């Protein structure tokens, strides 16, 4: 059974960089699939941030592209997210997820981790 | 970006009821429409992909239909474990976008 678990600081100061990791269990990243990050601000809908293939190919949502870096560490079976120059608008629950083989859906998700941007 | 609009935003129903949630896209998404179930504090769960294909392990009381811009998720007979928030998502064009959610509550 594939399981994903997000972790990282729950509080980040404005203008700093948010860094999260997603540990993947039950599946080796090196075997394939795209792995994505999404977020949900309080009271708002889900937003796709971007995704990465095991070989490092990435795709980002245009609105965040200048501030986002998604990376993969196959030795640790982890995917990471960095979001720079954060503001209060980046406060959200952040999820990692595996894209379906077709790339058209998200078939496994983590429980999410809340990140609050505040001084 | 394609806007996805769900209705209703919340719904009260009883165990055994038949429930339908609708999702409308701002432009055609062909058959690239997925549904998720989310319970607070848990990982979202893929229910249906490509409009009507049940993800492995999803009970047959869930079904999906529609095309182009109008889609529905139907639960034929609500069970206690079905009370959750449901989201539609289009994957026809990048970025993938989600509806705002429909919260299904116990009446």
CB of B64 closer than 8 Å to CB of B52:
yes
Alpha helices (runs of H) in chain B, residue ranges in sequence order: none
Nearest residue of B to residue A64, measured between CA atoms: B95
User: Mean pLDDT, to the nearest integer, of B93-105?
Assistant: 96
Residue A104's SS3 state is coil
Cross-chain Cβ contact A105/B94 below 8 Å? no
pLDDT band for A107, please (50, 70, 90 cuts). Answer: very high
Average of pLDDT values for A47-54?
95
| Count of C-beta atoms within a 10 Å radius of residue A41 | 14
Which residue of B7, B53, B91, B94 is the best one to mutate when testing the A interface, meaning the one whose CB has the most A CBs within 10 A? B91
Between chains, do A104 and B46 touch, taking CB under 8 Å as contact? no
Q: What is the pLDDT of residues A16-38, one digit of tens each?
A: 999 999 999 999 999 889 999 99
Whether residue A7 contacts residue A21, with contact meaning beta carbons closer than 8 Å, is answered with yes
């Amino acid at each position: 059974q594939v399981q994903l678990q997000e972790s990282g600081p729950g509080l980040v100061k404005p203008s700093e960089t948010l860094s999260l990791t997603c540990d993947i269990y039950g599946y080796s990243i090196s075997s394939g699939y795209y792995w994505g990050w999404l977020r949900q601000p309080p009271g708002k809908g889900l937003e796709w941030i971007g995704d990465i293939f095991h070989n490092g190919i990435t795709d980002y949502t245009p609105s965040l592209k200048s501030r986002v870096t998604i990376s993969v560490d196959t030795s640790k079976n982890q995917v990471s997210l960095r979001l720079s120059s954060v503001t209060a608008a980046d406060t959200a629950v952040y999820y990692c997820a595996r894209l379906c083989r077709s790339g058209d859906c998200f078939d496994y998700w983590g429980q999410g981790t809340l990140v609050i941007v505040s001084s | 970006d394609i806007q996805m609009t769900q209705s209703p935003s919340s719904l009260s129903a009883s165990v055994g009821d038949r429930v339908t949630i609708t999702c409308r896209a701002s432009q055609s998404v062909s058959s690239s429409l997925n549904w998720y179930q989310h319970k607070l504090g848990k990982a979202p769960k893929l229910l249906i992909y490509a409009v009507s294909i049940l993800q492995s392990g999803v009970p047959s009381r869930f079904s999906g239909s529609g095309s182009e811009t109008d889609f529905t998720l139907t639960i034929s007979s609500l069970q206690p474990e079905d009370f959750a928030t449901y989201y539609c998502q289009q994957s026809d064009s990048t970025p993938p976008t989600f509806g705002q959610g429909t919260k299904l509550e116990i009446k």
